[in-house]
Structure 1
Amino acid sequence: MSLTLDEARRRAALLSDVSYHLALDVTSTDAFRSRVVVRFRTRGGDTFLELRRAESLAVTLDGTALATAYDGDRIPLEGLSPGAHEVVVDARLRYVTDGEGLHSFVDPVDGERYVGGYLGLDVTQRLFACFDQLDLKAPITLDVTADPAWTVLSNALPASADQGRFTFAATPPIPCDQFVVVAGPYHSVQWEHRGLPMGWHARRSLAAELERDAAELRRVTGDCFDHYAEIFTEPFPFDSYDQVFVPELNWGAMECPGCVTVNESLLPRHRVTDDDRRRRAMVIAHEMSHMWFADLVSPVWWEDAWLNESFADYMGFQVAETVAGYPGARVSFEAAHKPGAFLADRRRSTHPVAPAAEDVPDVDTGRTIFDEISYGKGNAVVRQLVTWLGEPDFLAGVNTHLTRHRFANATLDDLLSALVTASPRDVRGWAGVWLRQPGHDTIRVTHRDGVPVLTRDGIRPHRFTVSAYSASLEPAGSRLVDLAGEPVALPEWAGLVVVPNSHGETFARIELDPYSHDAVANGLAGLPDPLVRAVLWATMLDQASPAAHLDVLARQLPRESSPTLVAAALDHTRNALVRRVLSPSAVPAALEVVAAACAHTGDTDEQRAVALARGLAWATTDTALLRRWLDAGATDQGWTLDPGLRWAVVHRLAELGGLDARQIEAQRRHDGTAAGELGALTALAARPTAAAKSAAWAEMTGDPDISVRRFGALAAGLWSLSQRELVAPYVAAYVAVAPSLARRGHAVAAAVGRAFPAVPLTDQELALVRDALRDDVPTVLRRFWEDELDDRTAAPTTPSTTDLADMAARKPAPW
């Protein structure tokens, strides 16, 4: 049962002064004990606590045992008199394997056990009984009974650890969905910075990787902290700052106050690329900014989730780029993140960056707000706001907002009120068109009497950089312009290539004039500024027909020097074009084009060579090449196969019939980690036999306790682009069974949605999905399916087989 907006408003009006004292016992391996003392004041009447799926339950109200009509979701509290009350709920609950509750994980490397409460929307209630809503912030005190040899971490500093009982100080008032507890034999690196205890932690089997990166992690943490201490007038609001690489986190990271949980993918086991470092620095900066925007000041309801995520996403990329020392963070945003935001903004499911509260009627719907609109588009819109206002006025307004609402809740209107006091510009008018309305404008380059002119189709004011180039794309100048209803003429750039929004300051579709478009199509990879190239790669691939898309890739990818842009172009080609646009008959020739573009052999840049090798690994049909790489543990140019690349090679070899189950098992044993187990599952499911597909499908749908990661790994192998006819029977089977699978929980529903058939579908198969959506489909799954339908039915015309064959035969452009 998902909490509704109306229920949350009624409960918030009824209750005040909420606090929790929670005791957890995690010594058992099959279930845990959760005992919580909930204190609050009420105006009187009826309310309820949420507690999901307790196996046993005892409740007392003000010292008296309560015979409660617990329904597996809610504990009713009826007939409360006005004043203070105390409820004690003692329950036994099961650990989970979907990351939503108290998650249990056994490390296959050493057999060690780890548990973690990774919470979020509607999840805290799977750990302890609570009033599970944002605007009932409360201090939380924690006691944990666990293995005495374990490390136990939470939002506050530990008060004591004796004989396996770990106690923690009370937190300041925080939303209960931001509570966290992690426990296990963690390896730790700890220090103090400006008097604040800090730490990085990882599983014991990842100790070498943590030590390898410890100096960098510590430096980036300190740089971000110092920067926020400088720009925010409110001091850091918590008494410690831990960051924990936790197993099987559903998010990239989670901004739990004082104790951030981080996905282990950000601690690579082998090669650490510049992209890895930039991404990790961005996440560190993103999550630390949340200590102010989400934790110190929190939304009232989920429609303002963007206030958390858009702000933090902007700060993450900005601080990584300008403070933490990772140039190229903005390049990665423009190339790999912003295109997804434009795609999301064209779907039926698009919504304003800041929707109305009534547009998010329950928490289930709130889950769908954590999307490319709130992150990618919201990031871009916040950047445009900073550009439009100027950073000093923007930060002045932000600081007023944080001080007014410290340890409380606030809305968009509260933020706008603070910005109005800091800026003479029409902030509310700006918000009305940028934040309250979906969609985006188009900025066009046209000509009047040979003079390039910028025009806007839309309703929003824009401030951005426009750049000019010669016919050979040599830089000829750039400047900042304001564009609204009136065209902007650029007479000084007559006869030149003109690129609006060349540095990505605004969020708008770009349409180049024919002369500029042709020059870019012919010389994109030769542009000297990688940020401009990122903007133009995204523009060219997003707007191109399939044939033109593959033509640009074939001619420009072998010349592109940035590993970031190589990887982004290949990801876009695979996911947006090959999966969703091409007909089944066009896929083989398209893969030949991709393989040829990735097959350049003279590269001396390891990171670029590896990015191309990853593309070649999923596109090639050359089993001899893949076998040679696997046997040597390196590419033909001598670049070592890191675990991710190695499993990509294993996957593709299995898909092409080049590896059997015994050989895949040998690779799993060679790896020996949890990631290796998932890689082996994918490879087994990818084998081109009916038996392999049947076995994968049976495990995906037959095991009610399958973890979301096993499910996803099996789906990744099941839906093979090269096996369209073999997997065709499972399309209808997936559509039939997915709604029932999705009802197991939100994380499972998201995993089922991500497992949508990753192959080109026929009109008849798409019709099956449309028909199913007429019935009762869980909210999270419905959003995935509707988005897939929009992406596939709005696709450009599929290129002819002749066009693709011609491109496949063409040699890549020389260096």
Structure 2
Amino acid sequence: MSLTLAEARARAAAVSDVHYALALDLTDPSQGTYGLRCQVTFQCSEETTFLEVTDAVGLEVDADPGVGWSYDGKRLHLSGVDRCRHPEHQPGDVCPRRVVVTARMPYVTDGDGMHTFTDPADGETYVAAYLGMDVAQKVFPCFDQNDLKALVDLEVTADPAWTVLANGRVHHQHDGHWEFATTLPIPTAMFVVCAGPWHSRTWEHAGLPFGWHARASLADELDRDFDELRSTTERCFDHYASLFDEPMPFDSYDQAFVPGQNWGALETPGCVTYRDEYLPRGRLTDRLRAARASTIAHEMAHMWFGDLVTMTWWEDTWLQESFADYMGVRVAGDAVGHHDLLVAFETARKVNAYRADARRSTHPVAPEAEDVPDVDAAATNFDMISYAKGGSSLRQLVTWLGDETFLAGVNAYLSQHRFGNTRLTDFVAALDAVSDRDAVGWADAWLRTTGFDTVRVEREADGTPVLHRDGSRPHRFWVASYDDALSPAGGHLVDLGDEPVRLPELRGRIVLPNARSQTYAQVALDDLSLAAFADRLPRLDDPLARAVVWGQWFEAVRTRRLASHDYLDLVARHLPVEPHPMIVGSVATRTLGSVLPERVAAADVGDAVASLSAAFARGLAAAGDDELRLVFVEGLASTSRDAALLESWLDADGVDGLEWYAGLRWRVVTRLAAIGAADAAYVEGERRRDGTVDGEIGAARALAARPTAQAKADAWAAATDAGVSNRRFEALTGGLWQPEQAALVAPYVARYLAEAPALAERGQAFAQAVGRAFPAVPLDADQLADVRAAVPAVTNTILRRDWEDALDDRG
């Protein structure tokens, strides 16, 4: 049972002035549990309340006289907490209550709690608390909701050889005992502690201590990238200081690459944690460098949007994630110089937002609180609507209001609500106060509605383009125009509402609305423009405009307006001569991950893969830039059936002198396994050669990809083992489902439907992993019918949402 909105509102009305004094004993992870002592002080105006603490072992409570308690394995129910027995207080006075809990808490391997990981490279162990919604209670007793922010005192006892990181500065450290400065008021979901033999690089900037940390076995990689990581951090930090009136709220800024993190990163104040896949062995691609900078900027934005000012309840997830998504792209471009991030955003995240918005599970960017009745329901809203659609909406808001006005409203909002909790109305009121435009009406139109508008281009008899809006939102965007050779021929900033907009000055020209990705809307082009882009897209010099066109093709094949074979023909003709690596990578990912399993019949997948492989090969032969060559190699590594070619790459540990990264080598091994050219002994040899967690995970995926019944049986057994880690589960299921093996894995489609509901009960994050493991192969009509029949019986909110989404994607 997750916390309900009604319970949260009642508890927030009764409880105040919360302070945690927490002592953790992390000295022996091999026990499977860690020790804690947590003193909670608070005021309460009601006779009863409860703390959450999940699966505590040997729980004992020492409370103020008159306070009663009972524990049900998830909630610590308290009674008598409104009674004041202080001799100098009057009856009815509300005074602090004290509850001290001692217990042992379980470590986890699924990234949802106090995660433990032993590095196969050197045998070193790391433990880290990864929190988020409904997870703090798996680490310590707390009022686990955003609007009961609290001060936190933390002491940690750990191996004296370890380093311990947390939300605040280290106040005292000696012989394995660490004491940290009391935090400012933070939500429980933003608590963090990371302990282990970290390799650390630290410095000071703007009067604050900064640090980057990674596992000891990644010391060389951290040292390799440290100058860039430091520069990116400082540039983002200084840029935010120029944008926001409120200074950085917290007393330190550590950042750690950690094992087992479920999110890409988590914005815990004072110590941000990142998936350590952001610190790869081998070549660091320019695409990963840009994505990492955007993530750094995204998480830093959360120091203000989420940590300084926090949503009250989960209907306003967008107040944090939409802002961070928008600011991550903006600041990584303006401050760090990754100006092409909008190209990746347009062809990846924004496309996923359109997909999400077309499903039955669509929801407003800012739904009503009552539409998010509990935390499990809220977990499903951490999706591309709250992130990418919300970020796109904010980009449109800036275009519509003007940047100066937008920032004035943002700064008023942050200053008025510092260390508080807010709702949509608070933000809109701040904007409305500084603008002469109707910010309230804009928010109602953009944030309280579902779906997306379509900007439709029609032609009058003389060739004049006319823009029509199918939808209800106001849009401001740039319309680009081109001559017959697709050379730029001017453009206009257009406001489009209820009335069509004629563009007589663009008569006869090819046009592309929203060419600068300023709004969130699909584009239905006229026949002249459609034919021109389909025929000669590579002549279009602007990569962002090409990205917008590719995005429309993705949407067309999703909605079946464009047949899969016609889409694949566009890929075969245009991708080999596409010069932008981000576009090539996005097209490859979208085609392999969505188009093949969702729009191509099983009997035709082999030919489709062969066509893609040939396109990647042509692109590799023509590419002169190393980054472009590498992205075509990635495509070939996922599609080629030329075992000799793939093995030659492994023998050379690269392609014609092109350095690659560890994950790409494992992609090649997995492909060899999938086409039957690498047996278990071969994969084991590669695992031993690697010797790291990359090798363990890569080998699991490769073994699962082999085209034999026994390999599939072994993979399924390992994936459904009760103790399987989150990363290993993802690798096993990722290898199991090969689009070219639809017939071979057919029995596991049925087993997945039967067994996934029980697997999903392990927790929110693992339920999401189970949902993402939906069979990534073409399903026939009978299999889809089986999915439809299975959905009504699924009681897990997260899994049911994922299955319904999968059905909608294949509809």
| Aligned with residue 658 of structure 1, among 672, 677, 688 | 677
User: How many Å apart are 1:380 and its aligned residue?
Assistant: 0.3
Look up the match of 2:708. Answer: 689
Query: 2: CA distance between counterparts of 1:732 and 1:577?
Result: 22
Asked if the contact 1:468–1:498 (Cα under 8 Å) also holds between the matched residues in 2, the reply is yes
SS of equivalent residue, structure 1 residue 104:
strand
Tell me whether 504-513 or 487-496 shows the greater mean CA deviation: 487-496
Look up the match of 1:803. Answer: none
Asked if the contact 1:526–1:559 (Cα under 8 Å) also holds between the matched residues in 2, the reply is no
Q: Cα deviation per residue 1:98-144 (whole Å; 9 max; x = unaligned)?
A: 01111101111111111100100110000000000000000101000
Is residue 2:472 matched to residue 1:453? Answer: no
User: How many Å apart are 1:67 and its aligned residue?
Assistant: 6.8
SS of equivalent residue, structure 2 residue 472:
coil
Look up the match of 1:618. Answer: 638
Query: 2: CA distance between counterparts of 1:87 and 1:458?
Result: 55
User: How many Å apart are 1:351 and its aligned residue?
Assistant: 0.3
Look up the match of 2:799. Answer: 781
Asked if the contact 2:148–2:187 (Cα under 8 Å) also holds between the matched residues in 1, the reply is yes
Query: 1: CA distance between counterparts of 2:623 and 2:521?
Result: 35
Look up the match of 1:70. Answer: 71
User: How many Å apart are 1:550 and its aligned residue?
Assistant: 0.5
Is residue 2:61 matched to residue 1:59? Answer: yes
User: How many Å apart are 1:63 and its aligned residue?
Assistant: 6.0
Look up the match of 1:462. Answer: 475
Q: Cα deviation per residue 1:378-432 (whole Å; 9 max; x = unaligned)?
A: 1100000011000111111111111111111011000011111110100111111
Look up the match of 1:429. Answer: 441
User: How many Å apart are 1:62 and its aligned residue?
Assistant: 1.2
User: How many Å apart are 1:348 and its aligned residue?
Assistant: 0.3
User: How many Å apart are 1:708 and its aligned residue?
Assistant: 1.3
Is residue 2:512 matched to residue 1:492? Answer: no
- Runs (5+) with no aligned partner, structure 1: 794-815
Q: How many residues align?
A: 790
Look up the match of 1:401. Answer: 413
Asked if the contact 2:59–2:102 (Cα under 8 Å) also holds between the matched residues in 1, the reply is yes
Is residue 2:599 matched to residue 1:586? Answer: no
User: How many Å apart are 1:473 and its aligned residue?
Assistant: 0.6
Look up the match of 1:390. Answer: 402
Look up the match of 2:252. Answer: 240
User: How many Å apart are 1:77 and its aligned residue?
Assistant: 0.3
SS of equivalent residue, structure 1 residue 69:
strand
Query: 2: CA distance between counterparts of 1:38 and 1:216?
Result: 41
Is residue 2:10 matched to residue 1:10? Answer: yes
Counterpart AA for 2:41: R
| Aligned with residue 645 of structure 1, among 653, 659, 664 | 664
1:159/1:726 Cα in 2 relative to 1: closer, same or farther (>3 Å)? same
Asked if the contact 2:264–2:274 (Cα under 8 Å) also holds between the matched residues in 1, the reply is yes
Q: Cα deviation per residue 1:458-501 (whole Å; 9 max; x = unaligned)?
A: 11110111100111111111221111111111111111110000
Counterpart AA for 1:487: P
What is the 5 A alignment of 1:495-514?
495-514=508-527
Look up the match of 1:472. Answer: 485
User: How many Å apart are 1:634 and its aligned residue?
Assistant: 2.2
SS of equivalent residue, structure 2 residue 400:
helix
Is residue 2:142 matched to residue 1:130? Answer: yes
Is residue 2:767 matched to residue 1:755? Answer: no
Is residue 2:542 matched to residue 1:529? Answer: yes
Counterpart AA for 1:629: W
| Aligned with residue 673 of structure 1, among 692, 714, 722 | 692
Look up the match of 2:168. Answer: 156
SS of equivalent residue, structure 1 residue 713:
helix
Q: Cα deviation per residue 1:597-619 (whole Å; 9 max; x = unaligned)?
A: 10122322111111111111212
Asked if the contact 1:140–1:170 (Cα under 8 Å) also holds between the matched residues in 2, the reply is yes
Query: 2: CA distance between counterparts of 1:343 and 1:409?
Result: 31
The percentage of aligned residue pairs carrying the same residue is 54
Counterpart AA for 1:411: R
Look up the match of 1:200. Answer: 212
Asked if the contact 1:299–1:409 (Cα under 8 Å) also holds between the matched residues in 2, the reply is yes
What is the 5 A alignment of 1:174-323?
174-323=186-335
Where do 4+ consecutive residues of structure 1 move more than 3 Å?
none
| Aligned with residue 158 of structure 2, among 143, 146, 150 | 146
Q: State the Cα RMSD in Å.
A: 1.1
User: How many Å apart are 1:774 and its aligned residue?
Assistant: 1.4
What is the 5 A alignment of 1:52-131?
52-62=54-64, 68-80=69-81, 81=83, 82-131=94-143
| Aligned with residue 571 of structure 1, among 589, 611, 622 | 589
TM-score by length of 2: 0.96
SS of equivalent residue, structure 1 residue 580:
helix
Asked if the contact 1:44–1:83 (Cα under 8 Å) also holds between the matched residues in 2, the reply is no
Query: 2: CA distance between counterparts of 1:63 and 1:103?
Result: 36
Counterpart AA for 2:357: D
Asked if the contact 2:113–2:138 (Cα under 8 Å) also holds between the matched residues in 1, the reply is yes
Look up the match of 2:90. Answer: none
Counterpart AA for 1:465: W
Asked if the contact 1:61–1:88 (Cα under 8 Å) also holds between the matched residues in 2, the reply is yes
Asked if the contact 1:335–1:534 (Cα under 8 Å) also holds between the matched residues in 2, the reply is yes
Asked if the contact 1:500–1:510 (Cα under 8 Å) also holds between the matched residues in 2, the reply is yes
User: How many Å apart are 1:746 and its aligned residue?
Assistant: 1.2
Asked if the contact 2:577–2:622 (Cα under 8 Å) also holds between the matched residues in 1, the reply is no
Query: 2: CA distance between counterparts of 1:750 and 1:540?
Result: 29
SS of equivalent residue, structure 1 residue 132:
coil
Look up the match of 2:37. Answer: 35
Tell me whether 724-733 or 618-627 shows the greater mean CA deviation: 618-627
SS of equivalent residue, structure 1 residue 639:
coil
Query: 2: CA distance between counterparts of 1:22 and 1:732?
Result: 46
Is residue 2:730 matched to residue 1:712? Answer: yes
Query: 1: CA distance between counterparts of 2:295 and 2:735?
Result: 29
User: How many Å apart are 1:584 and its aligned residue?
Assistant: 0.6
Q: Cα deviation per residue 1:207-237 (whole Å; 9 max; x = unaligned)?
A: 1111111111111111111111111111111
SS of equivalent residue, structure 2 residue 622:
coil
SS of equivalent residue, structure 1 residue 351:
coil
Query: 1: CA distance between counterparts of 2:143 and 2:18?
Result: 9
Asked if the contact 2:282–2:660 (Cα under 8 Å) also holds between the matched residues in 1, the reply is no
Asked if the contact 2:617–2:632 (Cα under 8 Å) also holds between the matched residues in 1, the reply is yes
- Runs (5+) with no aligned partner, structure 2: 84-93, 557-561
User: How many Å apart are 1:525 and its aligned residue?
Assistant: 2.1
Counterpart AA for 1:74: R
Asked if the contact 1:468–1:477 (Cα under 8 Å) also holds between the matched residues in 2, the reply is yes
Look up the match of 1:603. Answer: 623
Counterpart AA for 1:610: L
Tell me whether 719-728 or 32-41 shows the greater mean CA deviation: 719-728
Counterpart AA for 1:645: L
Query: 1: CA distance between counterparts of 2:261 and 2:735?
Result: 21
SS of equivalent residue, structure 2 residue 193:
strand
Query: 2: CA distance between counterparts of 1:61 and 1:648?
Result: 56
Look up the match of 1:801. Answer: none
Query: 1: CA distance between counterparts of 2:707 and 2:237?
Result: 51
Query: 2: CA distance between counterparts of 1:721 and 1:478?
Result: 43
| Aligned with residue 483 of structure 1, among 483, 496, 500 | 496
Q: Cα deviation per residue 1:23-67 (whole Å; 9 max; x = unaligned)?
A: 000001221011110000111311100000111100111168x77
Asked if the contact 1:524–1:537 (Cα under 8 Å) also holds between the matched residues in 2, the reply is no
Asked if the contact 1:43–1:83 (Cα under 8 Å) also holds between the matched residues in 2, the reply is no
Is residue 2:535 matched to residue 1:517? Answer: no
| Aligned with residue 352 of structure 2, among 340, 360, 384 | 340
User: How many Å apart are 1:638 and its aligned residue?
Assistant: 3.6
Look up the match of 1:742. Answer: 760
Query: 1: CA distance between counterparts of 2:688 and 2:674?
Result: 20
Look up the match of 2:20. Answer: 20
| Aligned with residue 788 of structure 2, among 770, 782, 796 | 770
SS of equivalent residue, structure 1 residue 277:
helix
Query: 2: CA distance between counterparts of 1:751 and 1:56?
Result: 31
SS of equivalent residue, structure 2 residue 272:
strand
